[in-house]
Structure 1
Amino acid sequence: MARRPDLVGLTVLAMLSLRPAHPYELHRFIVDTHKDYVTGLPRSLYHAVEKLAGQELIVPVETSRQGRRPERTVYEITGEGRRELATRLRALLESPGAERRTFTAAVSLMGVLPVPDALQSLRTRAASLEGALAGLNAHLDALRTSGLPEVLTVELDYERTLGEAELAWVRRLVARLDSGELTWSATLNEGLLADVLDEPGGAA
Protein backbone atom coordinates (compact mmCIF):
# COMPACT_ATOMS: atom_id res chain seq x y z
CA MET A 1 0.00 0.00 0.00
CA ALA A 2 1.37 3.41 -0.99
CA ARG A 3 2.09 5.82 1.85
CA ARG A 4 -0.22 8.79 2.10
CA PRO A 5 1.52 12.10 1.53
CA ASP A 6 2.25 14.11 4.64
CA LEU A 7 0.03 17.13 3.92
CA VAL A 8 0.59 18.69 7.34
CA GLY A 9 4.36 18.54 6.98
CA LEU A 10 4.11 19.84 3.43
CA THR A 11 2.07 22.81 4.63
CA VAL A 12 4.57 23.59 7.40
CA LEU A 13 7.44 23.56 4.90
CA ALA A 14 5.48 25.77 2.50
CA MET A 15 4.66 28.35 5.16
CA LEU A 16 8.20 28.42 6.53
CA SER A 17 9.56 28.87 3.01
CA LEU A 18 7.93 32.32 3.10
CA ARG A 19 9.15 33.44 6.52
CA PRO A 20 10.25 31.99 9.88
CA ALA A 21 7.37 31.42 12.31
CA HIS A 22 6.46 29.54 15.45
CA PRO A 23 3.84 26.76 15.44
CA TYR A 24 1.10 28.96 16.88
CA GLU A 25 1.47 31.36 13.94
CA LEU A 26 1.35 28.45 11.51
CA HIS A 27 -1.78 27.15 13.23
CA ARG A 28 -3.47 30.55 12.88
CA PHE A 29 -2.53 30.82 9.20
CA ILE A 30 -3.90 27.36 8.42
CA VAL A 31 -7.19 28.12 10.17
CA ASP A 32 -7.57 31.67 8.82
CA THR A 33 -6.91 30.61 5.21
CA HIS A 34 -9.29 27.62 5.49
CA LYS A 35 -6.77 24.95 4.54
CA ASP A 36 -9.29 22.32 5.55
CA TYR A 37 -7.23 19.42 4.20
CA VAL A 38 -5.06 19.83 7.32
CA THR A 39 -6.73 17.69 9.97
CA GLY A 40 -6.03 16.81 13.58
CA LEU A 41 -5.03 20.31 14.64
CA PRO A 42 -3.24 21.34 16.74
CA ARG A 43 -1.63 18.00 17.62
CA SER A 44 -0.87 17.07 13.99
CA LEU A 45 0.87 20.40 13.44
CA TYR A 46 3.15 20.12 16.45
CA HIS A 47 3.94 16.51 15.53
CA ALA A 48 4.84 17.61 11.99
CA VAL A 49 7.11 20.38 13.29
CA GLU A 50 8.88 17.93 15.60
CA LYS A 51 9.33 15.41 12.77
CA LEU A 52 10.63 18.00 10.28
CA ALA A 53 13.07 19.33 12.88
CA GLY A 54 14.31 15.79 13.50
CA GLN A 55 14.93 15.42 9.76
CA GLU A 56 16.75 18.79 9.76
CA LEU A 57 14.35 20.17 7.16
CA ILE A 58 13.58 22.99 9.59
CA VAL A 59 15.65 24.36 12.47
CA PRO A 60 14.85 26.44 15.58
CA VAL A 61 16.27 29.96 15.38
CA GLU A 62 14.73 31.75 18.35
CA THR A 63 12.91 30.97 21.58
CA SER A 64 10.94 33.58 23.49
CA ARG A 65 8.37 33.95 26.23
CA GLN A 66 5.94 36.80 26.73
CA GLY A 67 4.59 37.20 30.25
CA ARG A 68 2.96 34.03 31.50
CA ARG A 69 2.42 32.60 28.04
CA PRO A 70 4.09 29.29 27.10
CA GLU A 71 7.55 29.48 25.60
CA ARG A 72 7.49 29.71 21.80
CA THR A 73 10.16 28.53 19.38
CA VAL A 74 10.51 30.13 15.96
CA TYR A 75 11.56 27.81 13.14
CA GLU A 76 12.98 28.45 9.71
CA ILE A 77 13.32 26.14 6.72
CA THR A 78 16.75 24.82 5.70
CA GLY A 79 18.16 24.54 2.20
CA GLU A 80 17.42 20.82 2.26
CA GLY A 81 13.90 21.63 3.44
CA ARG A 82 13.33 23.89 0.44
CA ARG A 83 14.51 21.18 -1.93
CA GLU A 84 12.29 18.62 -0.21
CA LEU A 85 9.31 20.98 -0.40
CA ALA A 86 9.76 21.54 -4.14
CA THR A 87 10.17 17.80 -4.78
CA ARG A 88 7.09 16.81 -2.78
CA LEU A 89 4.90 19.57 -4.18
CA ARG A 90 5.83 18.95 -7.80
CA ALA A 91 5.12 15.22 -7.34
CA LEU A 92 1.64 15.91 -5.95
CA LEU A 93 0.84 18.36 -8.74
CA GLU A 94 2.04 16.00 -11.45
CA SER A 95 0.53 12.68 -10.40
CA PRO A 96 -3.24 12.10 -10.42
CA GLY A 97 -4.37 9.95 -7.53
CA ALA A 98 -7.51 8.51 -6.01
CA GLU A 99 -7.56 10.97 -3.11
CA ARG A 100 -8.60 14.37 -4.45
CA ARG A 101 -7.82 16.06 -1.12
CA THR A 102 -4.14 15.63 -2.00
CA PHE A 103 -4.48 17.65 -5.21
CA THR A 104 -6.47 20.30 -3.34
CA ALA A 105 -3.53 20.65 -0.95
CA ALA A 106 -0.99 20.81 -3.77
CA VAL A 107 -2.92 23.51 -5.63
CA SER A 108 -3.41 25.43 -2.39
CA LEU A 109 0.36 25.55 -1.84
CA MET A 110 1.67 25.80 -5.41
CA GLY A 111 2.34 29.52 -4.97
CA VAL A 112 5.59 28.67 -3.19
CA LEU A 113 6.94 27.22 -6.45
CA PRO A 114 8.25 29.39 -9.29
CA VAL A 115 5.48 29.85 -11.85
CA PRO A 116 7.37 27.91 -14.60
CA ASP A 117 7.78 24.91 -12.26
CA ALA A 118 4.10 24.89 -11.33
CA LEU A 119 3.14 25.24 -15.00
CA GLN A 120 5.33 22.32 -16.05
CA SER A 121 3.95 20.11 -13.27
CA LEU A 122 0.36 20.91 -14.23
CA ARG A 123 1.09 20.14 -17.88
CA THR A 124 2.48 16.79 -16.79
CA ARG A 125 -0.70 16.14 -14.80
CA ALA A 126 -2.87 17.04 -17.79
CA ALA A 127 -0.97 14.57 -19.96
CA SER A 128 -1.40 11.84 -17.34
CA LEU A 129 -5.13 12.55 -17.09
CA GLU A 130 -5.47 12.39 -20.87
CA GLY A 131 -3.75 9.00 -20.91
CA ALA A 132 -5.89 7.67 -18.06
CA LEU A 133 -9.09 8.83 -19.75
CA ALA A 134 -8.08 7.26 -23.07
CA GLY A 135 -7.51 3.95 -21.30
CA LEU A 136 -10.79 4.18 -19.41
CA ASN A 137 -12.74 4.97 -22.58
CA ALA A 138 -11.18 1.98 -24.34
CA HIS A 139 -12.07 -0.23 -21.37
CA LEU A 140 -15.69 0.97 -21.39
CA ASP A 141 -15.97 0.40 -25.14
CA ALA A 142 -14.68 -3.14 -24.74
CA LEU A 143 -17.18 -3.86 -21.96
CA ARG A 144 -20.08 -2.57 -24.07
CA THR A 145 -18.93 -4.65 -27.03
CA SER A 146 -18.87 -7.73 -24.82
CA GLY A 147 -22.56 -7.24 -24.10
CA LEU A 148 -22.15 -6.46 -20.40
CA PRO A 149 -25.25 -4.61 -19.10
CA GLU A 150 -24.59 -0.88 -18.76
CA VAL A 151 -25.82 -0.83 -15.17
CA LEU A 152 -22.71 -2.80 -14.22
CA THR A 153 -20.39 -0.08 -15.58
CA VAL A 154 -22.08 3.01 -14.15
CA GLU A 155 -19.27 3.52 -11.63
CA LEU A 156 -16.74 3.63 -14.46
CA ASP A 157 -18.77 6.29 -16.22
CA TYR A 158 -18.79 8.26 -12.96
CA GLU A 159 -15.01 7.91 -12.70
CA ARG A 160 -14.66 9.10 -16.29
CA THR A 161 -16.87 12.13 -15.66
CA LEU A 162 -14.76 13.17 -12.67
CA GLY A 163 -11.58 12.72 -14.69
CA GLU A 164 -12.94 14.81 -17.56
CA ALA A 165 -13.94 17.59 -15.16
CA GLU A 166 -10.50 17.62 -13.53
CA LEU A 167 -8.74 17.65 -16.89
CA ALA A 168 -10.86 20.58 -18.09
CA TRP A 169 -10.06 22.50 -14.91
CA VAL A 170 -6.32 21.77 -15.11
CA ARG A 171 -6.28 22.86 -18.77
CA ARG A 172 -7.94 26.17 -17.84
CA LEU A 173 -5.41 26.72 -15.06
CA VAL A 174 -2.53 25.96 -17.42
CA ALA A 175 -3.94 28.44 -19.94
CA ARG A 176 -4.19 31.16 -17.27
CA LEU A 177 -0.61 30.58 -16.15
CA ASP A 178 0.65 30.36 -19.72
CA SER A 179 -0.98 33.67 -20.68
CA GLY A 180 0.16 35.47 -17.54
CA GLU A 181 -3.42 36.05 -16.39
CA LEU A 182 -2.54 34.23 -13.16
CA THR A 183 0.91 34.76 -11.68
CA TRP A 184 2.67 35.28 -8.36
CA SER A 185 6.00 36.02 -6.75
CA ALA A 186 7.70 34.96 -3.53
CA THR A 187 7.53 38.56 -2.30
CA LEU A 188 3.78 38.66 -2.82
CA ASN A 189 3.27 35.38 -0.99
CA GLU A 190 5.39 36.52 1.93
CA GLY A 191 3.30 39.67 2.15
CA LEU A 192 0.08 37.67 2.20
CA LEU A 193 1.38 35.51 5.04
CA ALA A 194 2.44 38.60 6.98
CA ASP A 195 -0.96 40.23 6.44
CA VAL A 196 -2.79 37.23 7.92
CA LEU A 197 -0.47 36.99 10.92
CA ASP A 198 -0.58 40.73 11.59
CA GLU A 199 -4.38 41.00 11.61
CA PRO A 200 -6.02 41.95 14.94
CA GLY A 201 -6.25 38.86 17.10
CA GLY A 202 -3.26 37.31 15.38
CA ALA A 203 -0.16 35.87 16.98
CA ALA A 204 1.54 38.05 19.53
Structure 2
Amino acid sequence: MSIQVFILSKLMIGKTYPYELKKQMAEPIPLDELGGITESKLYYHFDALAKKGLIEPVEIIKEEHRPDKQVFGITAKGREELPKKIYKLFESANDINDIVIGLANIKYVDPEKVVDLLNVRLADYKAHWDRIMNFENTSHRDKKSENLNELLVGYFTTKSDHTIYWLEEAIKQIEQGNL
Protein backbone atom coordinates (compact mmCIF):
# COMPACT_ATOMS: atom_id res chain seq x y z
CA MET A 1 0.00 0.00 0.00
CA SER A 2 2.85 2.43 0.71
CA ILE A 3 3.94 2.23 -2.94
CA GLN A 4 0.47 3.32 -3.99
CA VAL A 5 0.52 6.20 -1.50
CA PHE A 6 3.91 7.20 -2.88
CA ILE A 7 2.61 7.16 -6.47
CA LEU A 8 -0.57 9.08 -5.64
CA SER A 9 1.34 11.68 -3.64
CA LYS A 10 3.76 12.24 -6.51
CA LEU A 11 0.83 12.62 -8.91
CA MET A 12 -0.68 15.24 -6.59
CA ILE A 13 2.36 17.36 -7.49
CA GLY A 14 2.28 16.65 -11.22
CA LYS A 15 1.98 14.11 -13.99
CA THR A 16 4.63 11.41 -14.26
CA TYR A 17 5.39 7.89 -15.44
CA PRO A 18 6.80 4.83 -13.65
CA TYR A 19 10.39 5.06 -14.89
CA GLU A 20 10.62 8.73 -13.85
CA LEU A 21 9.45 7.85 -10.33
CA LYS A 22 12.01 5.06 -10.13
CA LYS A 23 14.77 7.56 -10.96
CA GLN A 24 13.44 10.02 -8.34
CA MET A 25 13.44 7.28 -5.69
CA ALA A 26 17.12 6.60 -6.27
CA GLU A 27 18.24 10.15 -5.49
CA PRO A 28 19.71 11.36 -3.16
CA ILE A 29 19.12 8.25 -1.01
CA PRO A 30 18.49 4.94 -2.83
CA LEU A 31 14.98 4.51 -1.42
CA ASP A 32 14.16 2.15 -4.25
CA GLU A 33 16.87 -0.28 -3.12
CA LEU A 34 16.14 0.17 0.59
CA GLY A 35 12.45 -0.51 0.01
CA GLY A 36 12.91 -3.22 -2.60
CA ILE A 37 11.04 -1.14 -5.19
CA THR A 38 11.66 -2.34 -8.70
CA GLU A 39 10.48 -0.77 -11.91
CA SER A 40 8.17 -3.74 -12.48
CA LYS A 41 6.57 -3.18 -9.05
CA LEU A 42 5.95 0.45 -9.95
CA TYR A 43 4.35 -0.53 -13.26
CA TYR A 44 2.21 -3.08 -11.45
CA HIS A 45 0.97 -0.48 -8.95
CA PHE A 46 0.40 2.14 -11.64
CA ASP A 47 -1.76 -0.44 -13.43
CA ALA A 48 -3.64 -1.35 -10.22
CA LEU A 49 -4.34 2.32 -9.44
CA ALA A 50 -5.53 2.92 -13.00
CA LYS A 51 -7.90 -0.07 -12.80
CA LYS A 52 -9.38 1.41 -9.60
CA GLY A 53 -9.86 4.76 -11.37
CA LEU A 54 -7.47 6.58 -9.02
CA ILE A 55 -5.09 7.57 -11.82
CA GLU A 56 -5.42 7.79 -15.58
CA PRO A 57 -3.16 8.01 -18.59
CA VAL A 58 -3.03 11.61 -19.79
CA GLU A 59 -0.31 11.55 -22.43
CA ILE A 60 1.98 9.30 -24.41
CA ILE A 61 5.54 10.46 -25.01
CA LYS A 62 7.03 9.07 -28.18
CA GLU A 63 10.77 9.14 -28.68
CA GLU A 64 12.69 7.76 -31.58
CA HIS A 65 14.35 4.40 -30.86
CA ARG A 66 12.82 4.28 -27.37
CA PRO A 67 9.67 2.70 -25.97
CA ASP A 68 6.64 4.96 -25.59
CA LYS A 69 6.15 6.45 -22.13
CA GLN A 70 2.65 6.52 -20.73
CA VAL A 71 2.27 9.58 -18.50
CA PHE A 72 -0.32 9.44 -15.71
CA GLY A 73 -2.30 11.99 -13.75
CA ILE A 74 -4.33 11.61 -10.58
CA THR A 75 -8.13 11.58 -10.84
CA ALA A 76 -10.64 13.24 -8.52
CA LYS A 77 -11.27 9.80 -7.03
CA GLY A 78 -7.53 9.40 -6.47
CA ARG A 79 -7.35 12.74 -4.66
CA GLU A 80 -10.20 11.58 -2.45
CA GLU A 81 -8.61 8.17 -1.76
CA LEU A 82 -5.10 9.38 -0.96
CA PRO A 83 -5.87 10.52 2.62
CA LYS A 84 -7.75 7.27 3.29
CA LYS A 85 -4.75 5.25 2.13
CA ILE A 86 -2.41 7.34 4.28
CA TYR A 87 -4.59 6.79 7.35
CA LYS A 88 -4.57 3.04 6.63
CA LEU A 89 -0.76 3.09 6.68
CA PHE A 90 -0.83 4.56 10.18
CA GLU A 91 -3.64 2.25 11.34
CA SER A 92 -1.80 -0.89 10.32
CA ALA A 93 1.74 0.17 11.22
CA ASN A 94 3.85 -2.28 13.17
CA ASP A 95 6.98 -0.17 13.21
CA ILE A 96 8.49 3.03 11.87
CA ASN A 97 9.24 1.49 8.44
CA ASP A 98 5.51 1.09 7.87
CA ILE A 99 4.82 4.82 8.30
CA VAL A 100 7.71 6.51 6.48
CA ILE A 101 5.67 7.20 3.33
CA GLY A 102 2.76 8.38 5.48
CA LEU A 103 5.01 10.76 7.42
CA ALA A 104 6.43 12.13 4.17
CA ASN A 105 2.87 12.90 3.02
CA ILE A 106 1.31 14.06 6.26
CA LYS A 107 0.33 17.32 4.56
CA TYR A 108 -2.57 15.44 2.92
CA VAL A 109 -4.15 14.36 6.23
CA ASP A 110 -5.16 15.71 9.64
CA PRO A 111 -2.06 15.50 11.88
CA GLU A 112 -4.21 15.19 15.04
CA LYS A 113 -5.93 12.11 13.61
CA VAL A 114 -2.52 10.66 12.75
CA VAL A 115 -1.33 11.23 16.33
CA ASP A 116 -4.46 9.46 17.60
CA LEU A 117 -3.88 6.52 15.24
CA LEU A 118 -0.21 6.25 16.21
CA ASN A 119 -1.03 6.43 19.92
CA VAL A 120 -3.41 3.49 19.48
CA ARG A 121 -0.75 1.53 17.54
CA LEU A 122 1.84 2.38 20.20
CA ALA A 123 -0.43 1.26 23.05
CA ASP A 124 -1.25 -1.97 21.19
CA TYR A 125 2.44 -2.59 20.51
CA LYS A 126 3.39 -2.01 24.15
CA ALA A 127 0.59 -4.26 25.41
CA HIS A 128 1.59 -7.01 22.98
CA TRP A 129 5.22 -6.74 24.05
CA ASP A 130 4.26 -6.79 27.73
CA ARG A 131 2.29 -10.02 27.19
CA ILE A 132 5.29 -11.59 25.51
CA MET A 133 7.75 -10.48 28.19
CA ASN A 134 5.49 -11.72 30.99
CA PHE A 135 5.14 -15.19 29.50
CA GLU A 136 6.83 -17.71 31.71
CA ASN A 137 8.20 -20.81 30.12
CA THR A 138 8.65 -23.40 32.84
CA SER A 139 9.99 -26.16 30.63
CA HIS A 140 13.46 -27.45 31.40
CA ARG A 141 16.13 -26.23 28.98
CA ASP A 142 19.72 -27.21 28.47
CA LYS A 143 22.53 -24.63 28.39
CA LYS A 144 22.40 -24.14 24.60
CA SER A 145 18.65 -23.57 24.71
CA GLU A 146 19.10 -21.06 27.52
CA ASN A 147 21.81 -19.26 25.53
CA LEU A 148 19.58 -19.14 22.47
CA ASN A 149 16.73 -17.84 24.61
CA GLU A 150 18.93 -15.08 26.04
CA LEU A 151 20.13 -14.10 22.58
CA LEU A 152 16.61 -13.91 21.17
CA VAL A 153 15.17 -12.09 24.18
CA GLY A 154 18.00 -9.55 23.92
CA TYR A 155 17.43 -9.06 20.19
CA PHE A 156 13.66 -8.70 20.42
CA THR A 157 13.87 -6.47 23.49
CA THR A 158 16.24 -4.13 21.67
CA LYS A 159 14.03 -4.18 18.57
CA SER A 160 10.93 -3.47 20.66
CA ASP A 161 12.63 -0.62 22.54
CA HIS A 162 13.75 0.82 19.21
CA THR A 163 10.25 0.63 17.73
CA ILE A 164 8.67 2.23 20.80
CA TYR A 165 11.26 5.01 20.85
CA TRP A 166 10.76 5.91 17.16
CA LEU A 167 6.96 5.72 17.29
CA GLU A 168 7.03 8.05 20.30
CA GLU A 169 9.46 10.33 18.46
CA ALA A 170 7.21 10.43 15.38
CA ILE A 171 4.22 11.32 17.56
CA LYS A 172 6.22 14.08 19.27
CA GLN A 173 7.42 15.53 15.96
CA ILE A 174 3.89 15.56 14.56
CA GLU A 175 2.48 17.18 17.72
CA GLN A 176 5.15 19.87 17.56
CA GLY A 177 4.32 20.56 13.92
CA ASN A 178 7.80 19.58 12.75
CA LEU A 179 6.53 17.14 10.13
Fold in common (TM above 0.5): yes
**Does 2:158 match 1:161?**
yes
Partner of 1:53: 50
Closer/same/farther in 2, CA of residues 122 and 142 from structure 1, 3 Å limit: same
Identity of aligned residues (%): 21
**Residues of 2 paired with 1:13 and 1:7: CA distance?**
10
Partner of 1:200: none
- Structure 1: gaps (5+ residues): 1-5, 184-204
**Residues of 2 paired with 1:23 and 1:16: CA distance?**
11
Give the alignment partner of residue 113 of structure 1, picking from 102, 106, 117.
Answer: 106
| Matched ranges for 1:66-145 at <5 A | 66-97=63-94, 100=95, 103-104=96-97, 106-114=99-107, 117-143=110-136
Give the alignment partner of residue 63 of structure 1, picking from 60, 63, 83.
Answer: 60
Residues 82-119 of structure 1, C-alpha deviations (whole Å, 9 max, x = no match): 3333222212223333xx5xx42531343323376245
Partner of 1:8: 3
Instruction: Give the structure, 1 or 2, with the largest relative contact order (CA under 8 Å, sep 6 or more).
Output: 1
Q: What is the count of residue pairs matched by the alignment?
A: 172
Tell me, yes or no, if the aligned pair for 2:18 and 2:42 is still in contact at 8 Å: yes
Closer/same/farther in 2, CA of residues 163 and 127 from structure 1, 3 Å limit: farther
TM-score by length of 2: 0.75
**Residues of 1 paired with 2:63 and 2:87: CA distance?**
39
2:134 is paired with a residue of what secondary structure? Answer: helix
**Residues of 2 paired with 1:94 and 1:148: CA distance?**
40
Closer/same/farther in 2, CA of residues 67 and 10 from structure 1, 3 Å limit: same
Q: Deviation of residue 75 (structure 1)?
A: 0.5
Q: Deviation of residue 162 (structure 1)?
A: 2.1
Instruction: Give the letter for the 2:30 counterpart.
Output: H
**Does 2:172 match 1:179?**
no
2:162 is paired with a residue of what secondary structure? Answer: helix
Partner of 2:30: 34
Closer/same/farther in 2, CA of residues 170 and 87 from structure 1, 3 Å limit: same
TM-score by length of 1: 0.67
Instruction: Give the letter for the 2:159 counterpart.
Output: L
Q: Deviation of residue 21 (structure 1)?
A: 0.8
Q: Deviation of residue 59 (structure 1)?
A: 0.5
Could you say what the CA RMSD is over the residues aligned between the two structures, in angstroms?
3.0
Closer/same/farther in 2, CA of residues 117 and 163 from structure 1, 3 Å limit: farther
Instruction: Give the letter for the 1:169 counterpart.
Output: W
**Residues of 2 paired with 1:77 and 1:176: CA distance?**
29
Instruction: Give the letter for the 1:88 counterpart.
Output: K
